[in-house]
A = this chain, B = another copy of it.
Amino acid sequence: MFNTVLELLKKRNYKAIREIFMDMNEADVAALLQQFYDDHEVEKYELPLLFRLLNKDVAADVFAYMDSDTQMMLINAFTDKELQEIVDDLYLDDTVDIIEEMPANVVARIVKSADAETRKQINQILKYPKDSAGSIMTTEYVYLHRSYTAKEALDWIRHVGMVKETVNTLYVTENRKLVGVLSLLDIVTADDNDKIEDIMEDNVITVDTLEDKEYVASMFSKYDFLSLPVVDRENRMVGIVTFDDAMDVIEEETTEDFSKMAAVAPSDDSYFKTSVFTHAKNRIAWLLILMLSATLTGAIVNKYQSAFAAVPVLVSFLSMLSGTGGNCGSQTSTLVIRGMALGEIRMKDFFKVMWKEFRVALLCSVILAIVNAIRIILVYHGDTSVDCYKLAFTVSMAIMATVVLSKLIACMLPMAAKKLHLDPAIMAAPLITTIVDTCSTLIFFTLATIVFDIK
């Protein structure tokens, strides 16, 4: 598709491109234009040219699907009139999303293009804190009066529906307070004279404007909502969050968790849009902290120089031991962090998780210890410089202790972080590996000095 359009563009066959665009979904057109921008396959003036080939009634939709760099490039190319047409057609929450990514001068142009009412609403939404329900909501919903009949409601929806983001769910308000909710189907299937208040559901689940957007998104998975009303402290309805924004939040938060769990400071941009310098900046802090913490393990090793002077082969098990401890720890911490994110593991389950992990650790550690002992006895059987049974015993005991310890630490730390209102995701593999390393080295050398009777 990309190459076809590129060919047509070179031949200046705009009519054919226009027809191709007409047959495509808006999200696909956006992805295609995006590709032109990212791959620098076109001259600077050609992207606006391509965009102008779009039908007026889909242009705003396509625009909303693009990433902020491409949007900015287009805005700078738009005339004031073009920008105004786009802003008029955009859903309010999309406009706010775009504004949040733009530099001040572009924001000023966008806000200037909006009509007075939209401008007021944009400013209202921008006032909510960054991660709140208010910041991701839209004020474009359809509200009904409880005394409407079904027929009156349908007429009202016909009148205002086309410019609202969603009409599948309708809200009933009284003095701006939310009193009920119903679906478009409820109205369509009702008798003409049925009163809205008789067919609406009056137990409405709402969220506060200041509620954390991650929590709001999780309510969508729980209740399978299409949209969720947002109310202020006086229970006055101020907007709705739609499911597509909730899906975006879930995706964003998951990416953030992945980053944090790999000791990377989360980035707002995608992998390629983040510069090399920012990538390095996002990673270096944790690398430094973890590198310096690891010197503690080094200090322990130094303390036991006499041990590996006496039995040099001991040193060769350090890496296996710390690797196994790290892996066991990351298994547990990942499962616990994900379990908490999904709401499967709650704070009151602390001891239940500990007890479960303790038994899992015991099972795993026994198997690992046995396999390890067999391997050591097989390899060092004929070696006169070391007693293979003592060696097998020492290493296997150290493995057992390390596995149990690492799994217990790895379930305690994320839950403790949550208790302290920190993000559990930072207590993931890298940090736990470093802590477990220190412990396992200490255990191993202590055991070795006892078993091999090293002074």
Contact = CB atoms under 8 A, between A and B. Distances in A.
Interface of A: 23-25, 27, 154, 157-158, 161-162, 167-168, 184-185, 188-189, 203, 205, 220-224, 226, 243-244, 247-248, 250-251, 254-255, 258-259, 261-264, 270-272, 276-277, 279-280, 283-284, 286-288, 290-292, 294-295, 297-299, 301-302, 305, 308-309, 312-313, 315-320, 322-324, 326-328, 330-331, 333-339, 342, 344-345, 349, 352-353, 356, 359-360, 363-364, 367-368, 371-372, 375, 399, 429-430, 433-434, 437, 441
A371 B312 CA distance: 30
A62 to B, nearest CB: 12
A247 B221 contact: yes
Nearest to A349: B272
B429 A264 contact: no
Copies in the complex: 2
A319 B251 contact: no
A449 B352 CA distance: 51
Nearest to A291: B324
A185 B164 CA distance: 11
Contacts of A280: 360, 363-364, 367
Nearest to A338: B258
Given A188-B157, A270-B344, A360-B283, A319 B291 contact: no
A262 B437 contact: no
Contacts of A309: 309, 312
Nearest to A344: B270
Contacts of A161: 185, 188-189
29 contacts: A157-B188, A161-B189, A184-B184, A184-B185, A224-B247, A243-B243, A250-B250, A258-B338, A259-B335, A263-B330, A271-B339, A271-B344, A280-B364, A286-B327, A291-B372, A297-B320, A298-B320, A299-B316, A301-B316, A301-B319, A308-B315, A315-B318, A318-B319, A319-B437, A319-B441, A323-B433, A326-B326, A327-B430, A330-B430
